[in-house]
Structure formats: structure tokens, C-alpha cells
Structure 1
Amino acid sequence: MFTGGIYMMEVDRVLRPGGYWVLSGPPINYRVNYKAWQRPKEDLEDEQNKIEEIAKKLCWVKRSERAEIAVWQKTMDSESCRRKQEDAGVNFCESSDTDDVWYKKMEACVTPSPKVSAGDLKPFPSRLYAIPPRIASGLVPGVSSETYQDDNQKWKKHVNAYKKINRLLDTGRYRNIMDMNAGLGSFAAAIQSPKLWVMNVVPTTAEKSTLGVIYERGLIGIYHDWCEAFSTYPRTYDLIHANGLFSLYKDKCNAEDILLEMDRILRPEGAVIFRDEVDTLIKVKKIVAGMRWDTKMVDHEDGPLVPEKILIAVKQYWVVDGNSTSTQ
């Protein structure tokens, strides 16, 4: 934790102004617990002092310390904090894109907070459709308030079409959902319900870095390269949504490899909604047929002349003797 404070600095990078950091366990309350932890009291005291020192440099305020739990809050006043850090000679990160961290080594430097504060965010669920501060401030190249609102309307329309195709979407059958190419998170917002949650994945190869927007909407997300395995257990998800994914990864890696990874993380009798160009979906349909998935190709909701189509697939439950069942 104390390699130049590098881990706490990374926490500070991902923590929103006004957000909280909770530390549980050593060295908190070391005076009482050092014997149980079988560690020298002096070492634990030194660790505690280093944490307090780094927290002060990061402009974190300790709000509570009870038993073995301590809570710090990141300041809301980013500008005042920056001035204090400059006066203290804090080392700032030089990267021009603080979101560009995929396969990058952490550095012992402080990432300046963007000119967006937690106070600009509406309470959930109003946050789902409010203009995210990053977009309102022009921090997402190529995305304006108007294009954001258009994207929301488009995905409301798409999700309504999905519900007509698969009438189980509103029943609670699909609890764990993944959007493999989440964009601005509008699919997750349109399908939002207390009955489900959506893991929004922003591919590292995507044209725009939109993960910050997804979090400002009150949603959950992650970066990932779909040429690699996704870090989760087998059979995690009940429903997977793949919009334009195979066009995005064309010539980057094999579609078979991506589909096999989807098969691994999709539960038996789980469903996949593919949305892509018809030529791409024909290739996908051929591959998943060999994986014993049931499929159905559907026209775009605007009619058969639109080259973009929808492919619905259901992973069958099957065993080695060849028997299979599907309740959908």
C-alpha cells in the first residue's frame, strides 16, 4: 500500500469528488489489535502514519474511525485541493487522457480531478436520463447533449422491439445482463428495472471512451478487450447483448473465439441478442449453430430494407448423450 502511496493515488483517480474510501483491518486500531495480528506495534503505527500522510496530500478528510474500520471522504473542492497540492510539491500525472489506463502501469502521481463534481449529478434514477456532466462539459469528443438524447430515444425504441421478440425480458427471467458494447449505456437505461442489473462493457477498441458517462448515469461498467477472456465465472449471465460487436472486432480476432467466451459466461437456456449488419450475423448464426444454440433472425424494427438485423439466440441445456432441452 505504501510504495510511494501509489495504490491510494489510484483509488483517488477512480474516486469521485465527495466519494468515500473505507479501510478495514490493519493498521486501523493497531493499539488494540497488534498482538492478535502478530505484528510489531511500531510497524503498524508507521503504516497508519503513512496512510494519514498520503490521505492529507490527496485532500481526503477522515470522517470516522471505529474498531477496525476507518472512513475517508474525498474533497468536493477540487480547485482548492489542487492549489494545496501544488504548494506541497505533489507530483501530478502528465497523461493527457486520464481514462487511458488499459494495460498501463500505475505511477506514483496524482491525477487531477476533471472539472466535474459530484454535486452536478442528480439522484438516481433521475441520473439515468439527465445529461451527464462529462457530456454537458464537452469532455467526450463527438458526443453532444443532442446526440446523447438521440441515443437514448434510439435505444428505447430498440428495447421495445426486443420485448416484442422476447416476451421474457420483463418477467425477471433475466437477472444478470451484460452489454458487450455499451456505448453511452443507453441500452441499460432503457431496460432498467429492479428485476435486473446490467454490466456495461466498453471495448478498449471502441472509437469513444464512454465509461465515465456510464458511471455518471448511475450504472456499472468496465473496460475490456473481447479478444481476451472476460474475468468472471462460467455461467454468470442470463442475457447478453452484443450490438455491433462483431463488426467492431472484424480483422482484430476470430469471431469463434469471442462466441466461445460468450458461451462460457452464459448460463444454459440463457439468451443473446445480436444486432449487426446482416452479412456479419449470417456468419455468427452459422458458428453458433455448431455450438447448439437455437437462433432466429429478425428484421430491423424499421423494416426489412434496413441492412442491420437482429439475431436472437438461446443456449441450449445439453449433456454428453446428446439430449437437450430448452424452455424458451
Structure 2
Amino acid sequence: MGALQCNSRGGLHPCLDNTEALRHIPTRHYEHRERHCPEESPSCLVPLPQGYRRPVEWPRSRDKIWYKNVPHTKLAVVKGHQNWVKVSGEYLTFPGGGTQFIHGALHYIDFIQRSVRNISWGKRTRVVLDVGCGVASFGGYLFERDVLAMSFAPKDEHEAQVQFALERGIPAISAVMGSQRLPFPSKVFDLIHCARCRVPWHAEGGALLLELNRLLRPGGYFVWSATPVYQKLKDDVEIWRAMMALTKSMCWELVTIRKDRLNSVGAAFFRKPISNECYDSRQQKAPPLCREDDDPDVAWYVSLQSCMHRVPTEASERGSRWPEEWPRRLRTPPHWLNSKLGVYGKPAPDDFTADYEHWKRVVSMSYLAGLGIEWPKVRNAMDMRAVYGGFAAALKDLKIWVMNVVDVDSPETLPIIYERGLFGIYHDWCESFSTYPRTYDLLHADKLFSTLKQRTVNHCKLLPDTNQILSMVFLQVQRDSCGRGGRQDTEAGGKLIVRDEQKVVSEVEDVLRSLHWEVPLTFSMGREGILCAEKSDWRPPETLRSSS
């Protein structure tokens, strides 16, 4: 299979840089920053930046990254005085502050804990959504409190803020709150946070705040740290009044308002109800309750709904009670699995436990010792077919975070992943994943390609004149939207682990070798094959650059 090198923009963000589609997209609800994928995915290789180096290792990367890996200075100019990012010689440095926590993220995180002790970082509160994350320093320092934060920000005029976060080793995705639901199931985040929040929560009938309501667990907190909370300018006062009216109509309890005197900011703490009593007693039924046939977990290209779903109250329902404290929730089958059949055919709790034990065994006996991977150098990982999140769970004691991806046509297991204190995202592997080039140290694909090969999807635009599996491998793994940069002298590149049918693994190996990846290890056990590959820095000659 031949390969071309992308031009300066081709292939970087295929679904966010679709200039042809964007010509016809309105901007009123930020539709121009949502996903608009081209009919055919780019089939070119993203060039490495001149002077690219293997990323700084965690935890040092939280404080500094190589400037030439992400050579953007706009944020340093615009936000330098607020301690977001600074240029320091060969590095971009991140002092740990931000607009709302100039004196350090850890102080701000502890301020939140002191304000509402029931938040209980790292025990009751484990999985957080950080809206409009900037360079994600809040999420980066939450690791100190044993908390995972799914941070997101749009691809906008503040160039590369999410790319900065990922280069630092902090979880983040490019996403925007616009006209569509975010790609997460309902009732999964323990806490949602927004600092210096300029999101118009009160506009359009509160549609965007109602989306947060969909995502927040019953009993979970929304922490709003914004100027309307603590300033008295006319616009701030009007926004605060509108927010108070909206949150009251949504039955959110205003638990407290606190002022952080060191940072001279304040935060309002709202709590989602744990029963339907308030919903049923409202005199004004606005916003309305959602129709009973509206599935709150369906979120892939689904328009925002300006309504609220009822709180689950039956003991057998997901969301009717809080998960076990971390880390017990990692290994405990969710209580609401009891009446269901699992993905692999056993009763769901037994399926969950068997999957957990399977991945603990595979990781400890094979992956950690037998694949030649320097695990201390792995920070950002993606499980491209996560099922129950067993692979991520087995890596708990390493300094690694895992983005668990559940395909939109797969069994609905993403809520289970969140219930056990991990996180993930819905995705359709027929399309580009919304991330920047060179952002993951390791990709893990367990039976992903054989599953895709068996799937009948008319909307999948595959490469011409090749079979399906080769196209899937080329478009979804090697397009460079995920794997870190490759070998430079003795510095290792990003890794790929594939577990699949022997024939599929052989086809994957052929594709990777044609693209000059190192494939130091392949072996088989029964009908299953395993491959471990390492990305190289090879690119086609400059004269073969793609014009797409």
C-alpha cells in the first residue's frame, strides 16, 4: 500500500478542518466547531514538526514540554499574565495556574474540597468533567488527589490548548458545547467543573446546562467558578439572576457560595437532586421533562434536548445510588448489572469479574514483561475497544491514564466503565478521532479490526483497491491522529498492541511494515495472534506530498 505525506493541514483534524463543509455551516450555536467529517478520510501521513523530540516524561511534563513539539505561542502571549503557559528557552512551561487559580491549581482544588467536604476527592468523587479546560492544569493536578478529569475545549482561536494538555500527559479532547450532545452516556460524572466559565448557560432555555444535567450523576455537584458568582458588574448580576432562576427550575440545590481570598475568586456549588419530588411539585413545568422514549445515553450526532430526564429511583436502575468509594468501585460489579446478560454470555456480574481477572492476568504475565515496552515512558494510552475497561483497570497502579473508547455500534458498556471510576468516550471508528497528531504513547486494539471487518456499514468510506481490514488499519491507526512521534536515535516511538485473529494480525503487520513501523514481536496462541509494533519517524519523500 502506498502512502503520501499530508500537506500543512491535510489529515491533522479531518472532521474539524473540513473547509468545504464549514463554508455552509452556521455559527450561531457553534456548529462550525463541531464534527463535520469529509466523505473520504485522508490517507496521508502527518509530517513531524521540525526538531520534534520524544515528549518529556510524566510528571515533569506537567510543568514543561518541548516548544518544537507544539510550536504555538498565541496562548503564551494572550494568557501569559494569568500563568497558563510561558515560553522558556527550549520549553513551554506551565506554572500551574490559570485565570481562576493564579496562585496554583492545588490550592484551588483544596479550596473546593474545604467548601463542600462531601465532594471528598479521590473517594466519593473520582470522575470529573472539566468544561472549557484551557490547557487542563485543573485536571493535571487532580491526579494528586486520585481523581480523573475528562477535560475538553473547542478547537478555536486559542490554538492548540488541547494539544498542550495532551503533550503534557493530561487527558483532554477537542469538543464543544454547541448544537449536539457530548459523546458521553448519561449520569456518569461525579462532578462537573467550569472555571472562568463564559458558556452562556442561561441562553436558549438553558439547553447547555441541561446537557450537563444529563451527564451529571444524581447527587453530583456542578462547581461554577465564574465572575457572575463573585463580581457585581451589571452584566454579571444579570447572568447570576438568570442562572439562579434556571437552576431553581431544574431543581438544582445551591449548596453554598464560597470566596477563595488568595485567588480573589468565588465558586457556586450546585447539587443535582436524587429524587423526582421537586420535578413533580413544580408549578411551572419549564424546562419540561423529556419524553419517555428519549434515550439519554444515545449521544453520537444527537441534537441537544431542552428537557430533563427523570431521576432513577428503582433499586435496580443505574443512578439510583452512588457507586462504591474509590478504589473499591474499580473491582466491584455495579449493582444494576444483576438482571442483565454480559457481553461474553455470562450473567453480567460474572462477566464483569471474569473480564477483570482476564486483563489482570494478561497485563501482569504478558504485557508488562513480555512485550519489550518501557512502561515508565507510557503516559497517554487508548483502549480502542474497551468493553468493560478491564485493560485500564489492570493498569491502575501505573502512572498511566487510559481513554476507553466504545464504538457506537458495540454493546452499551461505557456506563460500566464510568461506574468503576474510569472514563471513556463514544466513537465511530469509520471516522476520524478528534485529537491532535502525536498525542498517545500507546494504542491497544483487542479484536477491534475483526469486529469492524464483520460490521456492515454503508457509510464507511474505505480506501479504494484494498481490502477492508487494510483500509481500517491505515485510516484508523496509522493516519497519525493518535500515535506519538517515532524513533529518533535511541528514543522510542509510540506503541501499538493488537490482539486479534491470526489472519487479521498478519494483515495488520503487513500494513505496518509497509509504513516502516518496527514490528519487534508477533506470536500466536491457538487461533489468536498478538502483535506489538513501534511507530517510526519515516515519512514519504517531500515530492510525494498529498494535496488533499
Shared fold (TM-score, shorter chain, > 0.5) = yes
Q: Are residue 282 (structure 1) and residue 506 (structure 2) matched?
A: yes
Cα deviation for residue 24 of structure 1 reads: 2.6
- SS for the counterpart of 1:128 is helix
Quick check: 1:298 aligned with 2:502? no
Structure-2 separation of matches of 1:81 and 1:280: 54
Q: Is residue 203 of structure 1 aligned with residue 407 of structure 2?
A: yes
CA offset digits 1:103-161 (Å, max 9, x no partner): 00001110223334475411111111111234246498876111111111222222232
Corresponding residue for residue 272 of structure 1: 496
Q: 1:78 aligns with which of 271, 275, 285?
A: 275
1:166 corresponding residue in structure 2: 371
- Are residues 1:188 and 2:385 paired? no
Question: Where do 1:93-108 residues align within 5 Å?
Answer: 93-94=290-291, 95-108=293-306
Q: Structure 2 CA distance, aligned partners of 1:68 and 1:120?
A: 28
Superimposed CA distance per residue, residues 151-193 of structure 1 (whole angstroms, 9 cap, x where no aligned partner): 1122222223222322436x41211111011001111111222
Q: Give runs of aligned pairs for residues 67-146 of structure 1, distance below 5 A.
A: 67-75=265-273, 77-84=274-281, 88-90=284-286, 91-94=288-291, 95-114=293-312, 115-117=317-319, 119-136=321-338, 138=340, 144-146=348-350
Matched, 1:14 2:215: yes
Structure 2: any 5+ residue segments left out of the alignment? Answer: 1-200, 260-264, 461-470, 487-492, 543-548
Q: Which moved more, 1:233-242 or 1:136-145?
A: 136-145
Amino acid at match of 1:101: A
Q: Which residue of 2 aligns with 1:309?
A: 529
Q: 1:137 to 1:92 in 2, by over 3 A?
A: farther
Q: 1:81 to 1:154 in 2, by over 3 A?
A: farther
Aligned counterpart, 2:477? 259
Q: Is the Cα contact below 8 Å between 1:134 and 1:212 reproduced in 2?
A: no
- The change in CA–CA distance for 1:99 and 1:180 in structure 2 (over 3 A counts) is same
Q: Report the Cα offset of residue 80 of structure 1.
A: 2.7
In the other structure, the counterpart of 1:47 is: 239
Contact 2:311–2:320 (CA<8 Å) still a contact in 1? Answer: no
**2:541 and 2:209 mapped to 1: Cα distance?**
53
CA distance in structure 1 between the aligned counterparts of 2:339 and 2:323, rounded to whole angstroms: 13
Once the two structures are aligned, what percentage of the paired residues are identical? 35
Q: 1:24 aligns with which of 208, 212, 225?
A: 225
Q: 1:157 to 1:194 in 2, by over 3 A?
A: closer
1:326 is matched with which residue?
Answer: none
Are the equivalent residues in 2 in contact too, given 1:136–1:145 (CA < 8 A)?
yes
Deviation at 1:223, TM superposition (A): 0.8
Q: Higher relative contact order by CA 8 Å / sep ≥ 6: 1 or 2?
A: 2
Letter in 1 for 2:530: I
* Rounded Cα–Cα distance in structure 1 between residues aligned with 2:501 and 2:329: 32
Query: 1:233, 1:265 within 8 Å by CA — same for their partners in 2?
Result: yes
Worse-matched range after superposition: 44-53 or 139-148: 139-148
State TM-score, norm by structure 2.
Answer: 0.51
Provide the alpha-carbon RMSD of the alignment: 2.5
Stretches of structure 1 that go unaligned for 5 or more consecutive residues are 35-40, 301-305, 323-328
Alpha-carbon separation, structure 2, partners of 1:258 and 1:64: 46
| Residue type of the alignment partner of 1:53 | A
State the alpha-carbon separation in 1 of the partners of residues 227 and 439 from structure 2: 33
* Count of paired positions: 303
Determine if contact 1:18/1:118 at 8 Å carries over to the other structure.
no
Q: Does 1:61 align with 2:61?
A: no
1:4 paired residue among 183, 197, 205: 205
Query: In structure 2, do the counterparts of structure 1 residues 103 and 21 end up closer, same or farther at CA, with 3 Å as the change threshold?
Result: same
Q: Is the 8 A contact 1:120 1:133 kept in 2?
A: no
- For residues 255-275 of structure 1, give each alpha carbon's deviation from its aligned partner in whole angstroms, at most 9, with x where no partner exists: 1211233x3311121111101
Letter in 1 for 2:524: D
Q: How far 1:21 sits from its partner (Å)?
A: 1.0
Change (3 A) 1:81 1:210: farther
2:275 alignment partner AA = S
Distance 1:25 1:96, change over 3 A: closer
- 1:270–1:314 CA contact under 8 A, matched in 2: yes
Give how far 1:297 is off: 1.6
Is the Cα–Cα contact under 8 Å of residues 128 and 218 in structure 1 kept in the other structure?
yes
Q: Quote how far apart the aligned CAs of 1:320 are.
A: 7.1
Normalised TM-score (structure 1): 0.84
| Contact 1:60/1:74 (8 A) holds in 2 | yes
- The residue matched to 1:310 in structure 2 has which SS? strand
The answer to whether the 8 A contact 2:341-2:348 is kept is: no
Change in 2 beyond 3 A, CA 1:21/1:140: farther
Comparing 54-63 with 241-250, greater Cα deviation is found at 54-63
Q: Which stretch shows the higher mean deviation, 175-184 or 136-145?
A: 136-145
Deviation at 1:284, TM superposition (A): 1.1
